[in-house]
Amino acid sequence: MSTFTFRVDDTLKDAFSTAAKGHDRTGAQLLRDFMRDYVRQQQAADDHDAWFRQQVEAGRTSADRGNVITSADVEARFAAKRAETRRKLGESAS
């Protein structure tokens, strides 16, 4: 185990200690919790960033191989989906 020492404004330290005591915790316990949470959040962010970069690279590789859909095809597919949805909505309103 190690000691972590840093400087903090007296007013902030006192307010933090009072708030910690109000929840039956010490400032040190809360700081350890905050540190653990921060490390977890950063790891999650790093993991997501790695996943996202992997997805982008997979998309680029796929596009380089010619696996693309033109915007006209996408528009046509979704126009058909919208028309089908409108048709179904029209039938259910009857």
Inter-residue contact 16 to 27 (CB < 8 Å): yes
Instruction: Give one word for 70, left, alpha or beta, with left for phi > 0 and alpha for psi -120 to 50.
Output: beta
Please name the residue that has the structure tokens 């996408």.
74
- 83 or 94: which leads in pLDDT: 83
**Tokens for 16?**
């933090």
Every domain of the chain and the residues it spans:
10-93
Q: What pTM, to 2 d.p., does this model score?
A: 0.65
Q: Residues 25-82: pLDDT tens digits?
A: 999 999 999 999 999 999 999 999 999 999 999 999 999 999 999 999 999 999 999 9
